[in-house]
Chains A and B, each alone.
Chain A
Amino acid sequence: MSTPHVVVIGSGLAGLTAAHRLMAGGARVTLVTKGLGGLQLSQGTIDVLGYAPGRVERPLESLASLPAEHPYRTIGAEAVATALGYLTDVVVDDLLAGEAAQNVWLPTAVGAVRPTALAQPSMLGGQCVRGARFVIVGPKQLKDFHPALIAGNLARTDLPDGGRLDARPASFDLPGRDHEVDSSGLTYARALDDPAFRARFAAAVKPLVEPGESVGLPGILGLKDRNAWRALQDLIGHPIFEIPLPPPSVPGMRLNETLTNGLKAARARFILGSKVVGFAADGDVLRSVTLGEAGRQVVIAADAFVLAAGGFESGALDMDSYGVVTDTIFGLPLVGLDAPLIHGDYWGAAQPVFAAGVAVDSSMRVLDGDRVVYANLRAAGGVLAGAQRWQELSGDGIAAASAVIAADSILGGRA
């Protein structure tokens, strides 16, 4: 194949990563997506494996002990390392740091201690290790950031290294704009892109810090200006770190915008706001997908396709009122559907339904038993069966690595 045309469906981490890799490998890419993907709902970190089910220290080494049907068993540790290296070194330029092999432990917005593999450099000062001394500080007018809750929980947590850390809360008065009293983190992030606001913010934080403390601030330290947090740290004169907030997640938006803008700059065709509503195939070859654009349906033919439309949370998988689960896009055969899919114990074990999805071979082609369904269709991300992503903290790594395999195997001419 000379220059293959590839249609990627979905703009979450899986779709964006696959599209980047395909473009870099010389393919022509059309990315179609119903809406924005899940990245800006994430923490802006890349998790590989956090719990299995106990705390995981070295995620790559733990993959082999996962159950046989887990997507990581097909993906393999090497692909995860390649994918994370690709994201860090090539795609997002200084927005992610760390390594796939080693988890770090960072505080959450409720003061829990959370494992992740890659984090934004602005977060890494918050590593929860024995003897750390934190002051958790935020503006009173910011919603969803409660220093007393965070500091209190952090201070009473037994850390993974067996020790404890010191944390105390503090807050200050500084509206994000006008007289708003419940601004979202995004409002502050936009304001903090402006050096003048940054100076006022720093001036309010500085007197609250005691020597030897690191300052835990909400994850709002600039949106477009990637060095806003460094500038702020210089002004405050103490080490600072960001704690990601619930959505809208500014660190997640940074990742999403960087990945999306990079694709647009590379001249992938990016079609936002239209849903894939149909497809055409000849035997085991997928010919085209049909897009429900305004006013009409548009047929997009391609040489290969990547299904990166996520799972239940994005509507790619659906369960009807009879409990029947379907892939809403290609009607692909699904696995993980035996046994009761939902149990009534809300706080109990993971719900089996969330592990439902498609089974794939080692190049991410979708399987029906042992048979490849469409030779030129790859699946990546949340649609893959076998993982409890949100509980294991495995969704990001699965998405990035399966996307890289899917792209590479298309480029390798096995489309």
Chain B
Amino acid sequence: MNDFAHLAVTRASLDNCVKCTICETQCPVMAVTSKFPGPKYIGPQAERFRNGESVDHSLDYCSGCGICTLSCPQGVQIAELNAQARAVMKEDHMPLRDQLVSRTTVMGALMTPVAPLANGALRIKPLRKIVQAIVGIHEDAPMPVANGRTFEAWFNKRPKRTTPAPRGALVFFHGCAGEYFEVETSIKSVEVLEHIGYEVLVPKQGCCGLAQQSNGLFDTATKAVLKLCDELTSAGKDLTIISSSGSCTGMLKHEAHEIMGVDDSRLKDVGTRIRDISEFLLELHDQGELPEDFQRIEQVVPYHAPCQLKSQGMGLPVIPLLELIPGLTVVESGANCCGIAGTYGLKKEKYEIAQAVGKPLFDMVKATNEGLAVCDTETCRWQIRKGTGVQVEHPVWLIHKAYGLS
């Protein structure tokens, strides 16, 4: 049973709600569908009436994007309340689909050795129709493209570093997507960090459990996140941990603690040591320690900051970072969410909503791109690629290029 979700202290924050409607104006789901009554109603208002059973199942339409919590001036943890209530609501009848999409490592590991086959299979319409009918993943939903090699395989096959790293060691956390699907982003991140003088350590590591958390599977997610903390710490106790997986970073920084109530010194330790790669590089710049011998890139690049990155409350480090590159102009999407919100937009009953949420963003990217858009989180990139046909990559690709590494 999800004890924390039942008893959560997050509940206490509901009394701070002054019914100002600020969260409602920002909720991306409420904006596009009348099926979802919005954060104020489904969060602090409905929570008063919950005692185990949820009074209103429209709760399931909350995508968990966290934009409401971010915008609330009164500190109500709306998205967290919703996530806990959903975990309780679905406790005894979790759909097979929600269990499946949340097992990112399993999906990735199964697909990698047979990548061409898996990619082919996911693109075959009749097969996707069957998948939709049986497990409820929408036939048109964006799916990851499995890579022929894993990041780990690349990392382990490289010649070892022979010169000492002048800036010392960092730990790299690649996340499941960075291991199996978005392998290039992981590689480029490591190469950038090495280029500026760090030794990069990559301990063997599993999944952070984010997808399970967002689907209400708190027990499995808790085990996963703690195991990951041990693995990341095994590389060195006080080292800074860097990740280019925007949403998984958020899971370690705050979501595991705030949503699932994981109160463990290992998580606390890792949560304070982990940095998003752009956050880290911008910090170096602010301290005057980032090498800025960037090559010119004469380009306008649309940038979408994923909801789960914004939720980390650090602003948008990508914009000032990328604009250190001469010639580069970044245009912020201004969209609160791309619609996918982790695994939300894959589900057949949410697919249309997720597409509608993404529409203004897709239009913006189509109108402003010159062949490339950037975004920090994997699933969002899949969603934007699918919605626009434009190449969408992690911002570190541009840093990598500007350092002359690609």
CA distance A178 to B70 in the complex (A): 29
- Contacting pair A295 B254 (CB below 8 A): yes
Q: Please name 15 further chain A to chain B contacts, defined as beta carbons within 8 Å, in addition to the given A269-B320, A271-B313, A294-B312, sorted by A numbering.
A: A34-B75, A35-B22, A35-B71, A179-B34, A180-B34, A248-B21, A248-B24, A264-B332, A271-B315, A273-B70, A275-B75, A294-B311, A294-B314, A295-B252, A295-B253
- Contacting pair B75 A272 (CB below 8 A): no
Check if B100 is an interface residue, CB within 8 A of chain A. Answer: no
Contacts of A35 in B (CB 8 A): 22, 70-75
Contacts of A253 in B (CB 8 A): 25
Contacts of B51 in A (CB 8 A): none
- Contacting pair B25 A295 (CB below 8 A): no
Check if A190 is an interface residue, CB within 8 A of chain B. Answer: yes
- Contacting pair A247 B316 (CB below 8 A): no
CA distance A248 to B21 in the complex (A): 6
- Enumerate 17 A-B pairs (CB-CB under 8 Å) in ascending A order: A35-B71, A35-B74, A36-B73, A38-B73, A40-B22, A41-B21, A270-B316, A271-B313, A271-B314, A272-B313, A293-B253, A294-B253, A295-B254, A296-B271, A298-B314, A315-B73, A315-B74
Where the two chains meet, the residues of B that have a C-beta atom closer than 8 Å to any C-beta of A are 18, 20-22, 24-26, 31, 34, 69-75, 250, 252-254, 271-272, 274, 310-316, 319-320, 323, 332, 334
- Contacting pair A293 B314 (CB below 8 A): yes
Nearest chain B CB to A224's CB is how many angstroms away? Answer: 9
CA distance A315 to B73 in the complex (A): 8
Nearest chain B CB to A267's CB is how many angstroms away? Answer: 7
CA distance A34 to B75 in the complex (A): 8
Interface string of A283-315 (1 = CB under 8 A from B): 000000001111110100000000000000111
Contacts of B69 in A (CB 8 A): 273
Contacts of A184 in B (CB 8 A): 21, 24
Check if A274 is an interface residue, CB within 8 A of chain B. Answer: yes
CA distance A261 to B316 in the complex (A): 14
Nearest chain A CB to B260's CB is how many angstroms away? Answer: 15
- Contacting pair B73 A295 (CB below 8 A): no
- Contacting pair B34 A247 (CB below 8 A): no
Nearest chain A CB to B76's CB is how many angstroms away? Answer: 9
- Contacting pair B74 A272 (CB below 8 A): no
Choose one: A36, A177, A273; the contact of B22 (CB below 8 Å). A36
CA distance A261 to B253 in the complex (A): 28
Tell me the chain A residues, 251-267 only, with Cβ under 8 Å from chain B: 253, 261, 264, 267
Check if A111 is an interface residue, CB within 8 A of chain B. Answer: no
Chain B residue at smallest Cβ distance from A264: B332
Contacts of B316 in A (CB 8 A): 270
- Contacting pair B73 A293 (CB below 8 A): no
Contacts of A40 in B (CB 8 A): 22, 25
Contacts of B332 in A (CB 8 A): 264
Choose one: A37, A293, A313; the contact of B313 (CB below 8 Å). A293
Check if A186 is an interface residue, CB within 8 A of chain B. Answer: yes
- Contacting pair A273 B71 (CB below 8 A): yes
- Contacting pair B274 A186 (CB below 8 A): no
Contacts of B252 in A (CB 8 A): 295
Interface string of A31-66 (1 = CB under 8 A from B): 000111110110000000000000000000000000
Chain B residue at smallest Cβ distance from A292: B313
Given A34-B75, A35-B70, A41-B20, A274:B313 Cβ within 8 A: yes
Nearest chain A CB to B203's CB is how many angstroms away? Answer: 20
CA distance A314 to B312 in the complex (A): 21
CA distance A272 to B22 in the complex (A): 14
Chain A residue at smallest Cβ distance from B319: A267
Contacts of A292 in B (CB 8 A): 313
Contacts of A264 in B (CB 8 A): 332
- Contacting pair B334 A41 (CB below 8 A): no
CA distance A150 to B9 in the complex (A): 43
Interface of A is mostly: mixed
Q: Which of A190, A270, A294 has the most CB of B within 10 A?
A: A294
- Contacting pair A34 B254 (CB below 8 A): no
Interface string of A59-92 (1 = CB under 8 A from B): 0000000000000000000000000000000000
CA distance A261 to B332 in the complex (A): 10
Nearest chain A CB to B66's CB is how many angstroms away? Answer: 9
CA distance A314 to B22 in the complex (A): 13
CA distance A295 to B315 in the complex (A): 14
CA distance A179 to B33 in the complex (A): 11
Contacts of B75 in A (CB 8 A): 34-35, 275, 315
Contacts of A36 in B (CB 8 A): 22, 26, 71, 73
Tell me the chain A residues, 1-53 only, with Cβ under 8 Å from chain B: 30, 34-38, 40-41
Given A186-B25, A273-B311, A293-B313, A37:B73 Cβ within 8 A: yes
Contacts of B253 in A (CB 8 A): 293-296
- Contacting pair A296 B319 (CB below 8 A): no
Given A35-B71, A269-B320, A190:B31 Cβ within 8 A: yes
Nearest chain B CB to A383's CB is how many angstroms away? Answer: 14
CA distance A184 to B31 in the complex (A): 10
CA distance A132 to B21 in the complex (A): 34
- Contacting pair B31 A274 (CB below 8 A): no
Given A274-B313, A293-B312, A294-B311, A247:B71 Cβ within 8 A: no
Nearest chain A CB to B317's CB is how many angstroms away? Answer: 9
Tell me the chain A residues, 93-148 only, with Cβ under 8 Å from chain B: none
CA distance A54 to B74 in the complex (A): 34
Contacts of A275 in B (CB 8 A): 75
Nearest chain B CB to A286's CB is how many angstroms away? Answer: 19
- Contacting pair A247 B315 (CB below 8 A): no
Q: Which of A40, A180, A296 has the most CB of B within 10 A?
A: A296
Q: Which of A35, A40, A248, A271 has the most CB of B within 10 A?
A: A35
- Contacting pair A261 B334 (CB below 8 A): yes
Nearest chain B CB to A137's CB is how many angstroms away? Answer: 23
CA distance A184 to B250 in the complex (A): 32
Nearest chain A CB to B357's CB is how many angstroms away? Answer: 13
- Contacting pair A178 B314 (CB below 8 A): no
- Contacting pair A270 B254 (CB below 8 A): no
CA distance A2 to B70 in the complex (A): 34
Contacts of B271 in A (CB 8 A): 295-296
CA distance A294 to B69 in the complex (A): 12
Nearest chain B CB to A399's CB is how many angstroms away? Answer: 15
Interface string of A345-365 (1 = CB under 8 A from B): 000000000000000000000
- Contacting pair B272 A296 (CB below 8 A): yes
Chain B residue at smallest Cβ distance from A41: B20
Nearest chain A CB to B40's CB is how many angstroms away? Answer: 10
- Contacting pair A274 B314 (CB below 8 A): yes
Contacts of B34 in A (CB 8 A): 177-180
CA distance A349 to B21 in the complex (A): 28
Nearest chain A CB to B57's CB is how many angstroms away? Answer: 19
CA distance A178 to B74 in the complex (A): 32
Interface string of A329-350 (1 = CB under 8 A from B): 0000000000000000000000
